[in-house]
Structure formats: C-alpha cells, structure tokens
Amino acid sequence: MIGDVIDFLLRASRWLTRRLTALQRGRESRPPRDTSAQRATVAGSTGTHDMARHPDESYYREQYWYWIAQTLERAGISHAGKGLDLGCGQGRLTLELARWLSEGTVCGVDISMQAIEQARSYAREANVTNIDYRQGAIADVVRELPAAAFDVMLFTEVTFYYPAWREDMEHALRALRPGGVLLAAFRPLYYDALMLVKAGMFEQVELLLQQRHGRLFGGNVTHTWQTAEEIRQLIATEFKMELLELVGIGCCSGLEDDLHAGLARPSLLNEYERTQLMRLETALGPMLPDTGRYLLAAARKSWSA
C-alpha cells in the first residue's frame, strides 16, 4: 500500500515537473513584439526591393495568383466583395485582388509610407480605382477593423519578419466574415535550413530546430519559420478554419542571391522555359509544400463563426 502511494507521488512529481518545464519554455519561446529596429529595417527594405516591379517578382505574383484565383472561385467569393491586403508592399497582389473584386473594394495596408506611395502610383497607372491604400503597422490596424467586414484577406510574406503575427491574427480574423477566405504565406523551415547550411551557420541549427522565431541570420531582425504540418495544425486548431489549400511557392526557382537562384531565375528564362517552370512548380507545390521558398495557406472561415 505504501509502495503504491510512493509510486503515485513519484509519477505525479514527474508529471508536474514536465508541465512546469513546458510552461517555462512556452514563456521563453514567446515571440517578442516588433521593436523599432525591426520595423525600421522591414520598412526600409521597400526602398531597395520593389515587389511589384522586380524582374523576378512578376513570376511569383503570377504563381501566387494561380492559387489565389482558384481559392476565390472555390469559396464562391463575389466580385462585389471586400478585400484586405495586410503588408501589401507596393501592391503586387493588391492590384490583382482589386481586379477580381471589380465591383467591390480593397484596402491595402503597409508599414512603409514609401511603399504605399508607390502602390498608389501603380494603381493610377493601371487605372484601378477601387483600392484604398493606408500606411500603418498591422498590429495597430487590425485592432481597429470592424467585425465581419471583409470577404478576402491577404497576408503574404509578412510573417517572416513579423514575430508577433500570431497574437494579432485573432484581431485580423475577427474582421473576416463567415465564409470569407484567408491567404497567408509563411517561410518554410526547410528553406531556412538550406540557407543556414549554405552560409555555414551551423551554430544556428539548434535555434532553427527548437524554436520558430529568432535572429536566425544575425543582425537585429527576428525571423519566423514553420513547417507545412505546423501550418495545417494552426489553421485547424488555433484559427478553427477549413484549410482549402497548402502549397509551396517557388519550389525550383529564386531571386538573385537567393538560395534557389542557382536552380533558376525566372527573369533569365525565355518564354518557353518560364512556362515549363511554372507548370512544374504548380504541380510540385501541393505535393511538396515544404520545399518552396514560401508556404501559401488558403483557409475559409467557418460559417458558424
């Protein structure tokens, strides 16, 4: 009898120790809020990289839109709906969304005033008039959004440099109507693993494997990264949404000085090669999402939400 009690107490003690350790790790691994240095670095990048007009980015816009358009069709999004592009940059995908929502409106938000001004210029040039561009930090903007106001929400290539994105997603999704769709792009862990190996930064392996945020490549910028399985779980359990698609973007190609550029740079290919590359990457994307430069998740908000 005494032995049973001692055994129970030992098991309870081990369980409590594991729980306390997990809670402590959870507190330690919580991503920091964006610092002024982080915001300044991210905003400043728009002065050197125009995602709307970069010679390679038009290819990735086309590949993103291939999947986004399918999602909008599948979800039955009305052309008179309302869209929101968080972290819109120079409007690379905002313009495409505005053309789709030809009878509706789109709001584009970015932290960089320089990017917003350039996006407005491109919209005027394209004679697209149903976009309202606003400068502001996503964390501030999403807290002021009205509930169930949008049919489509883009959140592409933002999480990489936005460590607290999960804390703010609750506010963002509140602004998405039931049946509305979220399209969010993440950085795959596998891609960053290859980047570390290429750079010989083997001292960062533990950080990459044990965490999902940190100053992975040095400097004052915090990065984030995920696996496809983690995104599936996140969409289903935390966001409580229906996952419509999860694909890799850019599984075999990259920008200049990028890891995948050694395989192919879209801007250096002729029309036939570029078409075949697109065919290959859109086929591989759903099969091998972790191998992309980006992970694109398309999810629909529950009608009962």
Residue 249 lies in a domain: yes
Exposed, middle or buried, 172 (CB in 10 Å: 0-12/13-18/19+)?
A: buried
Look up the domain containing 230 and give its range: 35-301
Instruction: Give the rounded percent of residues in the chain with a pLDDT score beyond 70.
Output: 84
Statement: residue 24 has pLDDT above 50: no
Per-residue pLDDT, 28 = 39
Q: How many CB atoms lie within 10 A of CB 97?
A: 27
SS3 of 148, please?
Answer: coil
Q: Do the domain assignments include residue 1? A: no
What residues contact 220, with CB distance under 8 A and at least 6 apart? Answer: 35, 37, 38, 41
What is residue 231's predicted lDDT score, i.e. its pLDDT?
97
232-257 confidence digits (pLDDT tens): 999 999 999 999 999 999 999 999 88
Using a pLDDT cut of 90, give the percent of the chain over it.
75
pLDDT in tens, 209-225: 999 999 999 888 899 99
Provide the domain count of the chain. 1
Predicted confidence at residue 218, as pLDDT, reads 86
pLDDT band at 203 (very low <50, low <70, confident <90, very high): very high
pLDDT at 256: 87
Secondary structure class of 11 (helix, strand, coil): helix
Using one digit for the tens of pLDDT, what is the confidence trace for 224-233? 999 999 999 9
Reported as a single tens digit per residue, the pLDDT across 89-112 is 999 999 999 999 999 999 999 999
By CB neighbour count within 10 A (0-12 exposed, 13-18 middle, 19+ buried), where does 257 fall? exposed
pTM of the model: 0.85
State the pLDDT at residue 37.
Answer: 56
* Domain presence at residue 22: no
Taking the CB of residue 49, how many other CB atoms lie within 10 A of it?
Answer: 13
Residue 101 in domain: yes
Give the pLDDT score at 29: 54
Closest CA to 225 of 240, 214, 234, 239: 214
In a domain, residue 2? The reply is: no
Average pLDDT, the chain: 88
Span 172-183, average pLDDT: 97
Burial level of 267, CB count in 10 A (0-12/13-18/19+)? Answer: middle
In a domain, 4, yes or no: no
Residue 42 maps to which CATH number? 3.40.50.150
pLDDT of residue 39: 56
Q: DSSP labels for 47-87?
A: TT--TTT-TTHHHHHHHHHHHHHHHHHHTT--TT-EEEEET
For position 73, what pLDDT does the model report?
97
Position 240 scores a pLDDT of 94
Entry field: residues in the chain: 305
The pLDDT, as a whole number, for residue 30 is 60
Q: Residue 20: what pLDDT?
A: 36
Q: What is the pLDDT of residue 121?
A: 97
Helices 271-287 and 57-74 pack at an angle, to 10 degrees, of: 50
Residue 27 lies in a domain: no
In a domain, 279, yes or no: yes
